[in-house]
Amino acid sequence: MASDSTRKMTEGNPLTLILGFSVPMLAGLLFQQMYNLVDTIIVGQTLGDNALAAVGSTGSINFLINGFCMGICSGFAIPVAQRFGAESYDSMRKFVGNSIVLSAIFSVALTIIVGIFCYQILAIMRTPEDIIDLAYSYISIIFLGIPVTFLYNLTAGIMRSLGDSKTPTYFLIMAAGINIVLDIVFIIVLGMSVNGPALATVLSQLIAGMSCLIYMKKKFPILKLTKEDCKLGKHHSQVLISMGIPFGLQYSVTAIGSVILQTAVNGLGTVAVASMTAGSKVSMFVVCPFDALGGTMATYAGQNVGAKNIPRVIKGTWVAQLLGTIYAVVILVVLFFSGRYILHLFTSTSIVIDQAMQFLLANAVTYTLLAAVNIFRFAIQGMGFSTFAIYSGVMEMIARILVAFTFVPMIGYAGAIWASPVAWLFAVFFLIPGFYSCCKKLDNKFNGAQIYHL
């Protein structure tokens, strides 16, 4: 039997379930974005422009590597959600045990590989000579924390797969607060450089990961593992790897497209870079609901596939899309009338604000597409088609590269601001037909019933 800490998404009103699951995730995402902003301010105000540039220069490689780690953990959680939905708890525990062992192996291997080549990677990325040593000091500590990244994201992913999206959020908020305090202690009190905030990030995430682990042991008796559960089995490990690797690669593929586009924007000059940066800061906040809806659909689809209820997967996916569309319209209106005032928080330069507004509005009018990308992609992954879902990431990468090498050279900044909308359009053209194809395959596998009339 499921414990009180778990939550079934195979019964009840999909709208109520999706809202109840996604709102706590949204709170965590918003708080994390707020922390990232405060962390940036602390580094810039206390350590100076070079330190700020050094930390900022590692952003894309940080996302590339740690995004891959987080993707693997998210993929590992999908079979757990499916077995939980099917009420096959013995198999579920084997997936949990095998995911722990595989995470340990992946984390150690990645830490060693990235640690060896970290400085060379920064050099290949043309990190300026006056900040490359600072950048290495920061990112090398972050990468030494890869096992900690696995610890938090795996435990949080498993809890979410069992229907608990609140507890990981509470621990994330706690960790963000601890991170800010440690930043102040390490930098101001102890006089550390950029290695201070890096160490603060690793330690705070360690606390969050250990908190999740302790909570799981106390509140999820359904996850009481045996030595046999943690013994790598061919079937369970193959399923986990087939889910986790494509999930991780999707993050990496998306990062590659973004890095190439950023390189093109860098060639347009400081004003263009500042404008895109300011616009992106605002955008990262307002798109959090789409990320939360996507994460929700991975669990929702996973559990309902486990219960062999494909019509419910389709219904829930379109309910989520409706919620995403409503929010997209609301935030478009908000940005249209208030975007300039929000941008004044980051800069007072009029040309930067003008161009940042162009970026924001170009994105906002197509946020419905972004909602669809997140919702349908994660639903497909939740159904177990991780490899299929990665193709949408490839489509996004192709679109951004296309914009970087054609639109930006021809029309400059005006072309760059449409990179994401074009990428989302490419992905949606692939994802929605792909979603129904995946549903049809599963429906034929389960019972051959008609699934398109709800």
The 10s digit of each residue's pLDDT in 352-373 is 889 889 989 999 999 999 999 9
- Note down the domain range covering 89: 10-232
User: Based on the structure, what is the number of domains in the chain?
Assistant: 2
Asked if residue 95 and residue 209 are part of one domain, the reply reads: yes
Other CB atoms within 10 A of residue 155 CB: 27
Asked if residue 88 and residue 23 are part of one domain, the reply reads: yes
What mean pLDDT comes out for the span 425-448?
88
User: pLDDT for 167-183, tens place per residue?
Assistant: 988 898 898 889 889 98
pLDDT score at 93:
92
What mean pLDDT comes out for the span 43-72?
76
Long-range contacts of 46-54 (CB under 8 A, 24+ apart): 46/187, 46/188, 47/187, 47/193, 47/194, 50/130, 50/131, 50/134, 51/134, 51/193, 51/194, 53/128, 53/131, 54/131, 54/132, 54/134, 54/135, 54/137, 54/138, 54/194
pLDDT score at 154:
94
Q: Which residue has the tokens 């490899």?
A: 387
Residue 136 lies in a domain: yes
Widest Cα–Cα separation across the chain: 66
Asked if residue 286 and residue 226 are part of one domain, the reply reads: no
pLDDT score at 452:
38
Which tokens hold the place of 385?
């088609």
Instruction: Check if the beta carbon of residue 168 is closer than 8 Å to that of residue 110.
Output: no
User: pLDDT for 226-279, tens place per residue?
Assistant: 888 889 888 999 989 988 888 788 777 777 776 677 667 767 776 776 777 678
Residue 451 lies in a domain: no
pLDDT score at 49:
64
Instruction: Give the separation between CA 299 and CA 379, rounded to whole angstroms.
Output: 8
pLDDT score at 415:
85
Residue 449 lies in a domain: no
- C-alpha Rg value of the chain to the nearest Å: 22
Residue 306 lies in a domain: yes
Q: Is the pLDDT of residue 408 over 70?
A: yes
Q: Is the pLDDT of residue 3 over 70?
A: no
Residue 146 lies in a domain: yes
User: For the chain, first and last CA: distance in Å?
Assistant: 30
Highest mean pLDDT among 87-91, 250-254, 346-350, 360-364: 360-364
Asked if residue 220 and residue 276 are part of one domain, the reply reads: no
Q: Is the pLDDT of residue 382 over 60?
A: yes
Asked if residue 276 and residue 206 are part of one domain, the reply reads: no
Which pLDDT band, with edges at 50, 70 and 90, does 41 fall under? Answer: low
Residue 183 lies in a domain: yes
pLDDT score at 449:
46
Asked if residue 359 and residue 213 are part of one domain, the reply reads: no
Q: What is the residue type of 177?
A: G
Residue 257 lies in a domain: no
Instruction: Give the separation between CA 25 and CA 213, rounded to whole angstroms.
Output: 18
What mean pLDDT comes out for the span 407-436?
88
pLDDT score at 1:
45
Stretch (H or E) spanning 304? helix 288-306
Mean pLDDT for all residues in the chain: 84
Residue 237 lies in a domain: no
Instruction: Output helix, strand, coil percentages for the chain, rounded to the nearest 5.
Output: 85, 0, 15
Asked if residue 104 and residue 203 are part of one domain, the reply reads: yes
What mean pLDDT comes out for the span 30-58?
70
Asked if residue 286 and residue 197 are part of one domain, the reply reads: no
What mean pLDDT comes out for the span 181-208?
90
Query: Which domain-ending residue is among 173, 207, 232?
Result: 232
Q: Is the pLDDT of residue 450 over 60?
A: no
Q: Which residue has the tokens 């009018």?
A: 365
Instruction: Check if the beta carbon of residue 327 is closer than 8 Å to that of residue 291.
Output: no
Query: Which domain-ending residue is among 217, 232, 247?
Result: 232
Asked if residue 374 and residue 296 are part of one domain, the reply reads: yes
Asked if residue 319 and residue 386 are part of one domain, the reply reads: yes
Lowest mean pLDDT, pick from 62-66, 143-147, 258-262: 258-262
pLDDT score at 270:
64
Query: Which domain-ending residue is among 211, 232, 253?
Result: 232
Asked if residue 79 and residue 15 are part of one domain, the reply reads: yes
Contacts of 416 (CB under 8 A, 6+ apart): 261, 264, 265, 268, 272, 276, 403, 407, 408
Q: Is the pLDDT of residue 290 over 70?
A: yes
pLDDT score at 453:
35
| Helix (H/G/I), strand (E/B), else coil: 115 | helix
Which tokens hold the place of 178?
């601890």
The DSSP letter of residue 100 is H
Instruction: Give the separation between CA 395 and CA 392, rounded to whole angstroms.
Output: 5
Half-sphere exposure of residue 231, counting CA atoms within 13 Å on the CB side? 3
Asked if residue 385 and residue 272 are part of one domain, the reply reads: yes
Instruction: Give the separation between CA 222 and CA 297, rounded to whole angstroms.
Output: 23
